[in-house]
Amino acid sequence: MPVFYGSEIDSALMLGTAGYPSPKILADAFARSGAGIATVSLRREGGGGQDFWALIQSLGVRLLPNTAGCHSVREAVTTAHMAREVFATDWIKLEVIGHADTLQPDVFGLVEAARILAADGFKVFPYCTEDLTVCERLLDAGCQVLMPWGAPIGSGLGLNNPHGLRALRAAFPDVPLVVDAGIGLPSHAAAAMEMGYDAVLLNSAVARAGDPAAMAGAMADAIRAGRAAYLADPMERTDMAIPSTPVIGRAFL
Amino acid sequence: MRITINGSPRDVAATTLAEALAEANLTGRIATALNGTFVPATLRETTPIRDGDAIEALAPMQGG
């Protein structure tokens, strides 16, 4: 099971709390998912914030607040401080958004904000790309986990760059890695786990499914299967056929 | 004195951040920023506010 900043979590599924049809369906989805970590955010208090706080307290999961919507280092750092106080955790999913259409991370701002926050005692979970150099800089900045995107947030496209994600896994064998964003189907989540990723963070794939609780269960099953497959050491791929039935002893007819 | 709270202009008698939040009925589990800078809960009572200040009061919300 994944270990983040010294804390072992009893599920490799990290689940977001946004976009569910109702609070009850959110709670049902969490129950079916077995997720150990819930992502949350901060927004202007306009009523509802206190009820939501009570709801997430009842889920029995660890909270990972995000800095979603922040487009600058200053916004992200201030939001992180506010989140630390409200959610009483030094964990922060750091998002510094660089592009409005793709919600692609601003990796330059991300590294800068990560360095500031890590120095201030935050345990930073950076939402990043699979770029090896950027990830190296994030580790240098004090991050002890990396969360590369699979595809743009909310797109459901799956793993856009499996080669890059595999290369990242190979480059940092001892760093906890999470595919964050872009997952649409259980097969996408399983594929990430089969590559040796430590966890998958998803939200829309469950919240926007016709039956969120059922999809949460399917995701949990897929993630378990993917992890088990990775640990079982999958066979090598080849381009040509290799007969599985023994050739020796074949009859001449 | 006119300040802005969560983007809405508001006339307040308050002289501190804590008083301004109370006037706006912003209670419970919230975090505050004054003019873009985080102000911890422990400092709200001693943080003065001035005309034109912008307060953000944020609460737990759904997120991905």
Residue B24 has pLDDT above 90, yes or no: yes
**Pairs of CB atoms within 8 A across A/B:** 102
Amino acid at A39: T
Can you read off the two tokens belonging to residue A150? 């699979």
For residue A47, the tally of other CB atoms under 10 A from its CB is: 7
Task: State the nearest Cα–Cα gap between A211 and chain B, in angstroms.
Answer: 18
- Residue in A29, A33, A68, A93 annotated catalytic: A93
Partner A contacted by B54 (CB < 8 A): no
Q: What is the largest CA-CA distance in chain B?
A: 38
Choose the closest CB to A42 out of B26, B41, B59: B59
Residue A76 is assigned to a ligand binding site: no
Q: Does domain B2-58 have CATH number 3.10.20.30?
A: yes
pTM over 0.80: yes
pLDDT at A184: 97
Dihedral in degrees, nearest 10, Cα atoms A168, A234, A192, A62:
-100
Nearest CA among A38, A29, A30, A36 for reference residue A1: A36
Interface check for A1 against chain B (CB to CB < 8 A): the answer is no
Annotated ligand binding at A204? The verdict is yes
Q: Give the C-alpha separation, A76 to A67, whole Å.
A: 6
pLDDT per residue as tens, chain A (253 positions): 999 999 999 999 999 999 999 999 999 999 999 999 999 999 998 878 899 999 999 999 999 999 999 999 999 999 999 999 999 999 999 999 999 888 999 999 999 999 999 999 999 999 999 999 999 999 999 999 999 999 999 999 999 999 999 999 999 999 999 999 999 999 999 999 999 999 999 999 999 999 999 999 999 999 999 999 999 999 999 999 988 998 888 888 8
Angle between helices A49-57 and A23-33 (to 10 degrees): 20
> CA B50 from chain center: how many Å?
12
Question: A25-72, pLDDT tens digit by residue?
Answer: 999 999 999 999 999 999 998 878 899 999 999 999 999 999 999 999
Surface-to-core class of residue A10, CB atoms within 10 Å of its CB (0-12 exposed, 13-18 middle, 19+ buried):
exposed
Does A93 qualify as catalytic in the annotation?
Answer: yes
Distance of alpha carbon A133 from alpha carbon A143, whole angstroms: 14
Place of tokens 């306009």: A46
Q: What is the DSSP letter of A177?
A: B
CB A57 within 8 A of CB A30: no
Query: What ipTM, to 2 d.p.?
Result: 0.95
Measuring CA to CA, which residue among A151, A124, A146, A122 is closest to residue A133? A146
> Is A203 within any annotated ligand binding site?
yes
With an 8 Å Cβ cutoff, are A50 and B28 in contact?
Answer: yes
Residues 6+ apart with CB under 8 A from A132: A167, A168, A171
What part of A 20-59 touches B (C-beta under 8 Å)? Answer: 20, 26, 39-46, 48-50, 52-53, 56
